Amino acid sequence: MKQLVRSQGFGAIIGVVVMLVVFSLIDFSGWWTAQTITNVTQFTAILSFVAMGQALVIMTKEIDLSVGSVYGLAGVAFITLEPSFGVPGSLVIALVMAAFVGFLQALTVVKGHLPSMIVTLGGLFAVRGIIYVWTGGSVHNFSADARIHPVTRLFGGELFGVEAAIFWLVVAASLLGLVLWATPFGNRLLATGGSRESAESRGVRTDRVKICAFVLCSLLAGFAGILTLCNQPQTHVTLGENMELEAISAAVIGGCLLTGGRGSIIGAVLGALIVVSFRYELIALGAPSSWYVTFVGVVLIVAVIFNQKLARFLGHSV
């Protein structure tokens, strides 16, 4: 039991249990259906990719507000470049573009000694502007051949009987969890967020760690955009708008401390499940969409308070 309490996704586990109990009491027949569970897990998988990247950045005591725009940019690049470079070529270019945005922002943060909130807020608007200019505000679709291309089918539809996004989420979460808890890089990442001065005194190159975290964050956001477009091959200029807020909320609900040095991959996934589930259930109950925004704000504040108290209870400085 003590081990469970000490786990960094403990708050998210409690949140998921409470959420399932409440939903079962108020809407059992509507919630526990195959269609509802399929839709929730599909959307959770997409948001989880963005939340996992956000969690890595938050663990280094930074934040990335541009992930929603990077998600949209990768999706737009994937579809609009496909006629010229083919599906595999456009996929690689889209991921390179996403990684470049992350690298550029990270370089500005660590070399310019600027707050990541300001740099990535600028990135959010700059990248969204590029999407508007690039698409001209119009909708783009995959060609019929691109929709049945093996690469498109590999990342869209189903794999081994499950939604492809869920399959790839399990793969990515397992790898990232392994990297975070069983490799020197994971230790360096948590040490960088916990105490930068202490980490540097032990030889950790914190600038490199932060750059890697930002690049991974953008890559995961870009990959989430590609997964979405493989399943629903149509772009629009608002693709990914406000996703950064959901990703930050999911990471914090999942146990990430905004003061850095604490968080988990599984917590980010559970946080995404909570965010998506409430959005879906509020819609199912016919509540106005504004209630969802209110919910995210309230739960975010509660999660921050809970995580700080839990961290202090376990003897961590926050």
All structural domains of the chain, each given as residue ranges with its CATH number in brackets, are: 12-314 (1.10.3470)
pLDDT of residue 273: 94
Question: From residue 144, how far is each of 155, 239, 252 by CA, in Å?
Answer: 16, 21, 40
80: number of Cβ within 10 Å: 15
pLDDT of residue 158: 85
Q: What share of the chain is helix, strand, coil (3-state, %, to 5)?
A: 75, 5, 20
pLDDT of residue 88: 96
Q: What pLDDT tens digit does each residue of the chain (318 aa) get? A: 555 556 666 778 888 888 889 888 888 888 888 888 988 999 999 999 999 999 999 999 999 999 999 999 999 999 999 999 999 999 999 999 999 999 999 999 999 999 999 999 999 999 999 999 998 888 888 888 888 999 999 998 888 888 899 999 999 999 999 999 999 999 999 999 999 999 999 999 999 999 999 999 999 999 999 999 998 877 788 888 889 989 999 999 888 988 888 889 999 999 999 999 988 888 888 877 777 778 778 877 887 888 777 777 776 665
* HSE toward the beta carbon, residue 88, CA cutoff 13 A: 2
Distance between CA atoms of residues 135 and 132, nearest Å: 6
- Counting every residue written for the chain, the total comes to 318
pLDDT of residue 113: 94
Distance between CA atoms of residues 123 and 62, nearest Å: 14
The encoded tokens of residue 59 equal 């663990």
